[in-house]
Each structure stands twice: as C-alpha cells, then as structure tokens.
A and B are shown apart, each in its own frame.
Chain A
Amino acid sequence: GQQVMQIPQYQHVQEGEDFTTYCNSSTTLSNIQWYKQRPGGHPVFLIQLVKSGEVKKQKRLTFQFGEAKKNSSLHITATQTTDVGTYFCAAPFLRSGYALNFGKGTSLLVTP
C-alpha cells in the first residue's frame, strides 16, 4: 500500500491558536483523504483531495495537496475546544484503489 507518515504525533494548543498537521508519502498518491476521530469515537470523513496543488476550505479548516501529490496538510485557524480529536490522513491502496492506508494520526488537545 501507499504508506503515509504523519507529523506531529501530538499537539497541545491554547484555544485560539492555529494548528497544522502534515502527511507525507514517498510515492505519488492518487488522492488523499482526511478523517477526524473524537476520543472514544470512530473516524469521520472530512475531505478528499485529488488534484495536484489542490486547496480546499471548510470554515476554519484548510486542506492542501502538494504539487507532486506526495504530501498534504490540514491547517486549523483559531482552534476551538470542539476541534479536539485525532486527525488522520489516508491514501488508497495501490492495488485496489479502494481500501485505505491510514497514517498514525495527530492527536490535538485544545485547552481553554
């Protein structure tokens, strides 16, 4: 599968600060997806990026896909306590193109 590495593993911010998590692959990805998992919950789909250099925004969340389609980032502006959770990037398995290979995730803690 297309392995994806995520950094940082943990991030602790004060409410109102910005947050960024990065996802990297040694191979070109066909697309990349981002999921959020709240503590005790299950992964919830956030977005999919397909095109080289693509940038998508969802309110305070900005997602980018690198020009070489080997890296991606998720940036949250002015974090809120509701942003707490683990953010995963995921890329499809090369063979099937359907099952996903998840990164280890970045756990975000936001203190008021």
Chain B
Amino acid sequence: DTGVSQDPRHKITKRGQNVTFRCDPISEHNRLYWYRQTLGQGPEFLTYFQNEAQLEKSRLLSDRFSAERPKGSFSTLEIQRTEQGDSAMYLCASSLTSGGTSTDTQYFGPGTRLTVL
C-alpha cells in the first residue's frame, strides 16, 4: 500500500498523559498536513510542513501540541498533558507541489482516534 499511513490507529489515554502519533506520507510528497476532526465536523487544520520546515500553525495548536518532520519524510504529532477536549480523530495528509493557481490534491491517511479518559 503506497498511501498515507498513520500509527497507531487508536489510542486511549488518561488525562494528563503525553501521546505521540506518527504519519508516513506518500513517499515523493513534499508537503505534509495535520488536521483534527471531531464528530459531526469537518477536518480542522492544525499545521503543515513543506519538506522539513513547519510553515504554518493554526491557533488551534496550543503550546501542548508539537509537530516535527525531522528528515522531511515521516512526521510526529505530540500532545502533552492531554485533556478530555483533545479527544478527536487526528488526520494526516500529504501532497506534491503542483504550482499555478490550483491547490495541491491532499491524500489523507486513515487517522488516529484519540480518546482521553
């Protein structure tokens, strides 16, 4: 399977614990995005990388959240001191720069479902 993969698929944690998720994008894709989706809502943008550089962060990304893409390939999203409000599906997407007036087509992974008890 050459699509976007995410690990783990499910994570249950207690409030106050730290969690880390991993995303492996499609191999030749230079952009990588993190989104969060709660029930009945569309995905909400968190942050994105172009190669290893983190170029934009949403205001949703509090200081408890940190994301890295150290070698411009896989990425990790860490949430420190988790809160119940962090319970959501965390989606990763990747794209290849297309240029022009169009926006890259983003390919989404299956997501990591986080439950904070």
**What are the residues of chain A within 8 A of B44 when measuring CB–CB?**
102
**What are the residues of chain A within 8 A of B48 when measuring CB–CB?**
96, 98-99
B62 at the interface (CB under 8 A from A): no
B74 at the interface (CB under 8 A from A): no
In the complex, which residue of chain B has the Cβ closest to the Cβ of A97? Answer: B103
A-B residue pairs, 5 tightest by C-beta: A102-B42, A42-B108, A99-B45, A92-B103, A96-B56
Convert A24-63 into 0s and 1s, putting 1 for each residue whose CB lies closer than 8 angstroms to a CB of B: 0000001101000000011111001010000000000000
Give chain A's interface residues, CB within 8 Å of chain B: 1, 30-31, 33, 41-45, 48, 50, 88, 90, 92-93, 95-105
Could you count the A-B residue pairs with CB atoms below 8 Å apart for me: how many are there? 66
Give chain B's interface residues, CB within 8 Å of chain A: 31, 33, 35, 40-45, 48, 50, 55-56, 58, 91, 95, 101-111
Are the C-beta atoms of A50 and B101 separated by less than 8 Å?
yes
* A-side interface mostly: loop
Are the C-beta atoms of B41 and A100 separated by less than 8 Å?
no
**What are the residues of chain A within 8 A of B111 when measuring CB–CB?**
42
